[in-house]
Structure 1
Amino acid sequence: MSTVRTVLGDVPPGRLGVCDAHDHLFLASPRLPGQELRSRSAARAELAAFREQGGGAVAQWTPYGMGRRAAELPALSRETGVHIVAATGLHQDVHYTEGTLAGLRGRLAEVFVAELTDGIGTSGVRAGFVKVAGGFHTLDAHARWTMAAAAEAHHATGAPIAVHLELGTGALDVLDVLCGERGVPPGRVVLGHLNRCPDPVVHRQAAEAGCYLAFDGPSRAHHATDWRMPEAVRALAEAGHGDRLLLGGDTTTAAARSVDGGPGMPYLLRRVRPRLALAVGEELVARVLTENPGRAFAVEWR
């Protein structure tokens, strides 16, 4: 039976409820100095605010070495009533020291598999998917290395692979590597940030390949993509790909949290959901927030 691996154990996909398919409770990177997500109380407040809007589950895409705080997640899930799915994986190399990366050479897939099956560090919390990342319109050697390890971990466990697309670019290159070269079924791949590059041709090709397409996070001031997102979703739905769509909030900085004056996790349900419903209808939005993430993250674990 397929189940979603949450931080409190495996659950049937139908129990997730309304799902934020891409967000962060904890995150730290040298690329975002002073904006680390480290506060447990703020993470709890975000989850509670999301729950008040009707939220039931969050997939935290924070991978290895970026301050996941895995041991904190089970208590936060219990306290707020929100399912949490944790990630293993590795981000772009700019988020790590050379020493950290050197320590993973030759054993990256082994680390991913261990975190999916045995637990993250000594926390006992098992990851539910692998997160990796591409570059801006390209895949460098680091990206190909991490994707090869992610594919190996998938073949060992069945876990889905979620991919950060830099500014929404490189989707087809990712599919060439993961699915074409490495044999990962497209239905086990989630492409993130497609709202940041609203190219309808690429979106359609990715959906036709069979992967999941995540539209996640409000745009920054210099990205005029928010108003295009509903039309992009509608075009995919009208082409018969409504079952391939996911939505997320992608809160990556302390200033972006709702408790600190930003949109935060509640924004997905408070603003994005009704705006999208105007374009595609309440019924489809409900499926995108519930049924689709249940399928995307559910696994017949090996």
Structure 2
Amino acid sequence: MEKSLGIRMRLRNNRFYVNQGRSRPMIHTVLGPIEEGELGVTLPHEHILVGFIENGKLTPDDYDRQEVVSLILPYLMELRSVGCRTFVDCSPEYLGRDPYVLSELAVKSGLHIITNTGFYQAPYLPPFVFEMPEPELAKLWIREYDEGIGDSGVKPGFIKIALNKGRLFPVQEKIVRAALTASLETGLPIQAHTNDGSVVMHVLEIMAERRFDPSRFIWVHAQNEKDLDLHEHAFKQGMWIQIDSIARSPHEDNCRLLQAFLERGMEAKLLLSQDLGWYTVGKAQGGDIRPYHKLFTEFIPFAVEYGIDPDVLDRLMSRNPAIALRNRS
């Protein structure tokens, strides 16, 4: 039953776009650009590889690329077998982004894999980030979009940043402003790690000042904020709201939050993911790697039983990610 539901979701998604009869925006995967209608059922926030090494000192010498591929591939194959088509890897540079690992996994798994440009937050930032002016930071990310990441030829499909709690710290505000600049130049959407909703309200202030469209911005870990009025305010401004605690917290808690968002009319801007994986640098055999398939095999059946319309779940897993991740250039 679980597999058939995932497959039905993928087919519904394909029909939705094939019947549009219009030109379709392109989205960059690690193997090249695809039309947004090819995205299919999507996990918009997961991880393959993460290395919590401070001050930007993580390098490929700290792990074995082939070990990462061999250990992660079975999890991706299992994910594909339940109907998922696209996997969005949210590890930014200096925290585990590796275009060569991602490209090999895309080829071997048959999944579309999307990577990013951008930076995370202290203490996982290299020292130069604190000194470099905002326009120069933006140029780094624009260059990766124009020329590819290093000599890999892989282009990012979105910008990944991180926000602290409360008002933005100076370095994070600079990163936010650089991300807005890079997004306007490249058309890439932004995914932002968050710890609460007040920091998102600060970002909305900056967006208003810069006349930046919030629909290009994904509020990651939105479940961390308990004041639903803040979510609704961000939604009304056009921002994407992402619940990515699926399989990390009780299904009933996630269903209750999802239902509350739906009752507030927020379906058109909701995303679901798990924030799972991953191969942890420095741990034997990558540590405790958590599988990616449980959203499909456990959460969706639970949510349907809970009373959430399966057609709504289809749209949250297929139509919405395609719109959120589309390039606006």
Same fold per TM (> 0.5)? yes
TM-score (norm 1): 0.87
Q: Match of 1:268?
A: 295
Residues 50, 238 of structure 1: alpha-carbon distance in 2 compared, 3 angstrom cutoff: same
Are 2:105 and 1:76 aligned? yes
Are 2:185 and 1:156 aligned? yes
Superposed displacement of residue 282, structure 1: 0.6
- Of 115, 121, 125, the residue aligned with 2:154 is 125
Query: How many residue pairs end up in the alignment?
Result: 294
Instruction: Among all aligned residue pairs of Structure 1 and Structure 2, give the percentage whose two residues are the same amino acid.
Output: 26
* Separation in structure 2 between the aligned mates of residue 182 and residue 279 of structure 1, nearest angstrom: 41
TM-score (norm 2): 0.80
Return 5+ residue gaps in structure 2 as ranges. Answer: 1-23, 55-61, 281-285
Q: Note the alpha carbon deviations across 1:105-138, whole angstroms, 9 max, x for none.
A: 7621011111122111111100011011111223
Superposed displacement of residue 228, structure 1: 2.8
Is the 2:192–2:218 Cα contact (8 Å) retained in structure 1?
A: yes
- Of 204, 227, 245, the residue aligned with 1:217 is 245
Q: Match of 2:13?
A: none
> How do 1:113-192 and structure 2 match up within 5 A?
113-166=142-195, 170-177=199-206, 179-192=207-220
Are 2:115 and 1:86 aligned? yes
> How do 1:1-302 and structure 2 match up within 5 A?
1-30=24-53, 39-99=68-128, 101-102=130-131, 107-166=136-195, 170-177=199-206, 179-218=207-246, 227-251=252-276, 253-254=278-279, 263-277=290-304, 278-301=306-329
Q: Which is higher, the Rg of structure 1 or of structure 2?
A: 2
* Separation in structure 2 between the aligned mates of residue 73 and residue 293 of structure 1, nearest angstrom: 20
Moved more, 287-296 or 202-211: 202-211
**SS of alignment partner, residue 22 of structure 1:** strand
Query: Which letter maps to 2:264?
Result: A
* Separation in structure 1 between the aligned mates of residue 91 and residue 276 of structure 2, nearest angstrom: 11
Return 5+ residue gaps in structure 1 as ranges. Answer: none
Superposed displacement of residue 290, structure 1: 0.3
Is the 2:189–2:324 Cα contact (8 Å) retained in structure 1?
A: yes
* Separation in structure 2 between the aligned mates of residue 45 and residue 15 of structure 1, nearest angstrom: 23
Is the 2:134–2:177 Cα contact (8 Å) retained in structure 1?
A: no
Moved more, 226-235 or 152-161: 226-235
Deviant stretches of 4+, over 4 Å: 35-38, 99-106, 259-262
* Separation in structure 2 between the aligned mates of residue 183 and residue 283 of structure 1, nearest angstrom: 35
Superposed displacement of residue 262, structure 1: 5.2
Superposed displacement of residue 194, structure 1: 0.9
